């Protein structure tokens, strides 16, 4: 049994006064006491980060983190676009399962706001295929194509999409660490400018800085000493084609379907037993596709479920989705997102989610996507 | 006591509506105007630049005071758009005004606060009796890259101030200045258009520096915001001055007369001083005016001015010039800005 015994996230937002490694150091300094752990008890560190090499010519992160920790242990940097955090977590889990170590620190971090939007958009585009880049497609364009395919195949309106952002901003208003803590209305979403039709500014997650960390352990003594813990029940990484044009469907992400089926099969849980989920809402359409592909909603029912705020805190009687605010409101420092999702489940399952606490939450699911679905990590935690 | 003896301004007649720029780039006019709180901006003609506009505003400043030009000890021109990289604007301006020989000519540069820094230098020269009068001109034909957000606001104007010791129009009660190395907005040598850090120009730059210069000055003078008849802040857009005013404890009534950015845009070094010019159109004897500039890079100069009874003779009507306008289309705008 492997458990998460501690979680810390920095503030997400435009953190101009902090560098990437300021953020990493902050998570290290705060998460270890949270887990009641001495750094010498760590066997390895896994670091999820996408763009430090592209934007600030900053690679060899393992050595930098060893320098911060003042430890001579293995530190691995993991890159899988926006699924870098989830992938780092999955690798740490399997490294512990292999028996190589017992306790791992998993950090996800990204520093984006020091760079021009052109640099950041260009950097993010490196996670798409060469043909997509050459044709001028950026991720808003790619997800807009997916949204258009969804619009062609199913009954849905822009108002339905807007409800996803309204819900996630409401959740963000309850999260002190969220980038946006302002509630928004459907009309505000609809009145915001188009980014790429049919997606608007307020359908889209922001450019963010932030870092998050969790501590994983299989050591029973360490687990016993931990203040709070949750168990990792299953975690699966699935890859698919990099190019959107090689996919069978544009209105769903197959890697999500496969990964979700795998974790539910492994845990023996039913979809209906999940109390909380953090899904990858880089754009509002992505949350609708995720909910259908994971199997929470029937394919094509997303519009109806979204517009009835079926997964909103205070309105849902079972599954609540993206209580952190999701990528939309909590922010999307890409390497940190996958860890923040798991951390949010940890807070909910251990009763530490404060104003947004879901009562009696037992099982949580995290869904982290890289690119347009070329990498998907789905993880289930339980208390 | 040192202060301002007279002032002049110049705003070009041509205007472009923000909506006409937005339309070219496929943006919604209401979104741009609502977020920037700017409706239109001034555009200098193809034959105008920071120098010609500084001449216009300086001529107006000299028009209602009889000053022996030989007593002008210094001419400062603050601008982000000096016509030459090497060859001073100040010497050409002085010569055009009939100022020649034994005076200090100096071009200053500190983004939008290039001229208010010169005001502080001028204050030193006047108070130390090294000069009887100092001319400070703030003039810009503000550059902005087509399609950059700056294009919606960067405008053209000039303001000139004659500083002296006697026969003052505005007493300078005190000043404060605050600077740090904060690269929020810059233009490298040889590069035509400025770059900027987007929202980084806000909290860590504009707000941080104005707040510090202003609170220093309020503390130093022991004056509370409610004592001022008017408050003026640099106007990169229509939102920032309102936000900083509220943060410092001023109310909208104290600010509203200075908010000319909605109709004139942001004329960089002349921006905040045009707010002061607007205030002087309605100010009364004894009024205290709080004024704070901002320059990217970054810094802020804050001043407390007090109006004397000379305002009655030397008042100028900016509102007449604001309403004397001719709209141009985007193609003409590009021609005037020497882009095409």
Q: Which residues of A touch B205 (CB under 8 A)?
A: none
A48: domain range?
3-115+208-230
Q: Which residue has the tokens 């030009």?
A: B69
pLDDT 10s digits, A36-58: 999 999 999 999 999 999 999 99
Average confidence (pLDDT) over A228-247: 97
Residues A224 and A238 in one domain: no
Residues A242 and A100 in one domain: no
Q: Would you call A60 a catalytic residue per the annotation?
A: no
Annotated domain spans of chain B: 3-169+317-336, 170-314
Residues A175 and A268 in one domain: yes
Report whether pLDDT(A317) > 90.
no
> What is the number of domains present in chain A?
2
Please tell me what DSSP assigns to residue A383.
-
Which residues in chain B land under pLDDT 70? none
Q: Would you call A332 a catalytic residue per the annotation?
A: yes
Residues A201 and A220 in one domain: no
What CATH superfamily is the domain B170-314?
Thiolase/Chalcone synthase (3.40.47.10)
| CA B268, B272, B278, B280 torsion-angle sign | negative
Residues A196 and A266 in one domain: yes
Q: Would you call B48 a catalytic residue per the annotation?
A: no
Q: Which residues of A touch B32 (CB under 8 A)?
A: none
Q: How far does B99 lie from chain A, in Å, by closest CA?
A: 45
Whether A121 is covered by a domain: the verdict is no
User: Tell me, what CATH number does A18's domain have?
Assistant: 3.40.47.10
Residues A103 and A243 in one domain: no
Of B70, B96, B69, B74, residue with least CA distance to B83: B96
Of A198, A230, A262, the residue that ends a domain is A230
Residues A34 and A145 in one domain: no
- How many angstroms separate the CA atoms of B178 and A30, rounded? 35
Whether A34 is covered by a domain: the verdict is yes
Report whether pLDDT(A167) > 90.
yes
Residues A223 and A285 in one domain: no
**Best interface-test mutation with B: which of A11, A16, A121 has the largest number of B CBs within 10 A?**
A16
Whether A33 is covered by a domain: the verdict is yes
Residues A25 and A43 in one domain: yes
What is residue B34's predicted lDDT score, i.e. its pLDDT? 86
Per-chain mean pLDDT for chain A = 97
Residues A261 and A329 in one domain: yes
What is residue B27's predicted lDDT score, i.e. its pLDDT? 87
Asked if the domains at B3-169+317-336 and B170-314 fall in one CATH topology, the answer is: yes
Whether A156 is covered by a domain: the verdict is yes
Helix/strand number for chain B, H first, E second: 13, 14
Q: How far does B233 lie from chain A, in Å, by closest CA?
A: 24
What is residue B33's predicted lDDT score, i.e. its pLDDT? 86
Whether A323 is covered by a domain: the verdict is yes
Residues A321 and A289 in one domain: yes
Average confidence (pLDDT) over A111-128: 94
| CA B131, B133, B135, B136 torsion-angle sign | positive
Whether A123 is covered by a domain: the verdict is no
Q: HSE, CB side, 13 Å, CA atoms: give it for residue B201.
A: 20
Q: Which residues of A touch B204 (CB under 8 A)?
A: 16-17
In this structure, which CATH number among 3.90.550.10, 3.90.1580.10, 3.20.10.10, 3.40.47.10 belongs to the domain B3-169+317-336? 3.40.47.10
Determine whether B193 is exposed, middle or buried from the number of CB atoms within 10 Å of its CB (0-12, 13-18, 19+).
Answer: middle
Whether A120 is covered by a domain: the verdict is no
Whether the CB-CB separation of A290 and A141 falls below 8 Å is answered with no
Whether the CB-CB separation of A366 and A278 falls below 8 Å is answered with yes
Residues A242 and A110 in one domain: no
Whether the CB-CB separation of A164 and A302 falls below 8 Å is answered with no
B204 and A193 within 8 Å at the Cβ level: the answer is no
Of A166, A195, A230, the residue that ends a domain is A230
> For the whole model, what pTM was predicted?
0.86
pLDDT 10s digits, A79-116: 999 999 999 999 999 999 999 999 999 999 999 999 98
A113 and B200 within 8 Å at the Cβ level: the answer is yes
Strands (E), A83-149: 103-110
């Amino acid at each position: 049994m492997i458990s998460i015994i501690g979680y810390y996230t920095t503030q997400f937002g435009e953190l101009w006064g902090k560098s990437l490694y300021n953020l990493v150091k902050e998570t290290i300094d705060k998460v270890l006491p949270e887990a009641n752990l001495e750094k010498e008890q760590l066997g390895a560190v896994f670091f999820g980060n996408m763009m430090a090499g592209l934007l600030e010519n900053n690679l060899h992160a393992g050595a930098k983190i060893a320098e911060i920790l003042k430890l001579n242990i293995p530190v691995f940097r993991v890159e899988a676009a926006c699924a870098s955090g989830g992938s780092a977590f999955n690798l740490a889990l399997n490294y512990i399962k292999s028996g190589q170590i017992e306790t791992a620190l998993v950090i996800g971090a990204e520093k984006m706001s020091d760079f021009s939007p052109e640099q950041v958009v260009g950097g993010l585009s490196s996670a798409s295929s060469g043909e997509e880049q050459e044709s001028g497609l950026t991720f808003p364009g790619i997800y807009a194509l997916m949204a258009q395919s969804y619009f062609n195949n199913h009954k849905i309106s822009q108002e339905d999409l807007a409800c996803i952002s309204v819900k996630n901003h409401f959740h963000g208003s309850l999260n002190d660490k969220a980038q946006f803590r302002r509630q928004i209305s459907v009309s505000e979403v609809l009145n915001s400018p188009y980014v790429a039709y049919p997606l608007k500014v307020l359908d889209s997650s922001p450019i963010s800085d932030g870092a998050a960390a969790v501590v994983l352990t299989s050591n029973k003594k360490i687990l016993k000493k931990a203040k709070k813990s949750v168990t990792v029940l299953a975690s699966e990484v699935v890859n698919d084609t990099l190019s959107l044009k090689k996919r069978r469907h544009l209105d769903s992400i197959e890697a999500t379907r496969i990964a979700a089926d795998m974790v539910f099969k492994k845990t023996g849980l039913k979809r209906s037993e999940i109390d909380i989920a953090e899904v990858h809402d880089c754009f509002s359409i992505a949350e609708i596709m995720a909910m259908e592909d994971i199997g929470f909603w029937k394919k094509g029912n997303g519009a109806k479920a979204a517009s009835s705020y079926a997964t909103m805190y205070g309105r849902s009687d079972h599954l609540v989705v993206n209580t952190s605010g999701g990528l939309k409101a909590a922010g999307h420092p890409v390497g940190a997102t996958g860890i923040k999702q798991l951390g949010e489940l940890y807070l909910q399952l251990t009763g530490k989610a404060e104003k947004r606490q879901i009562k009696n939450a037992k099982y949580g699911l995290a869904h982290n996507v890289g690119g347009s679905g070329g990498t998907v990590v789905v993880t289930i935690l339980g208390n | 006591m040192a202060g301002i003896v007279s002032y002049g301004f110049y705003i070009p007649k041509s205007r472009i509506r923000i909506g006409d720029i937005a339309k070219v780039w496929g943006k919604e006019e209401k979104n741009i105007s609502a977020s920037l709180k700017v409706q239109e901006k001034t555009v200098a003609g193809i034959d105008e630049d920071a120098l010609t506009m500084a001449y216009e505003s300086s001529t107006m400043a000299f028009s209602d005071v009889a000053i022996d030009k030989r007593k002008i000890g210094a001419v400062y021109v603050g601008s982000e758009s000096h016509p030459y990289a090497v060859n001073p604007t100040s010497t050409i301006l002085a010569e055009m005004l009939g100022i020649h020989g034994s005076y200090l000519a100096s071009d200053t540069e500190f983004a939008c606060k290039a001229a208010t820094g010169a005001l502080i230098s001028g204050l030193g020269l006047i108070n130390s009796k090294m000069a009887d009068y100092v001319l400070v001109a703030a003039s810009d034909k503000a550059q902005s890259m087509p399609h950059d957000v700056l294009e919606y606001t960067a405008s053209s104007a000039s303001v000139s101030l004659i500083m002296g010791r006697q026969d003052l129009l505005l007493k300078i009660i005190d000043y404060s200045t605050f600077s740090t190395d904060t690269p929020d907005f810059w233009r490298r040598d040889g590069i035509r258009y400025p770059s900027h850090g987007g929202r980084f120009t806000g909290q860590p730059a504009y707000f941080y520096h104005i707040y510090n210069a202003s609170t220093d000055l309020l503390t130093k003078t022991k004056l509370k915001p409610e004592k001022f008849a008017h408050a003026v802040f640099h106007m990169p857009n229509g939102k920032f001055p309102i936000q900083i005013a509220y943060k410092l404890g001023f109310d909208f009534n104290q600010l509203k007369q200075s908010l000319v950015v909605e109709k004139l845009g942001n004329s960089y070094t002349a921006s905040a001083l045009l707010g002061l010019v607007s205030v002087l159109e309605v100010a009364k004897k004894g009024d205290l005016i709080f004024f704070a500039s901002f320059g990217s890079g970054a810094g802020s100069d804050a001043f407390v001015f007090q109006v004397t009874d000379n305002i009655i003779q030397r008042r100028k009507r900016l509102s007449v010039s604001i309403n004397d306008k001719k709209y141009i289309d985007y193609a003409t705008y590009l021609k005037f800005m020497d882009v095409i």
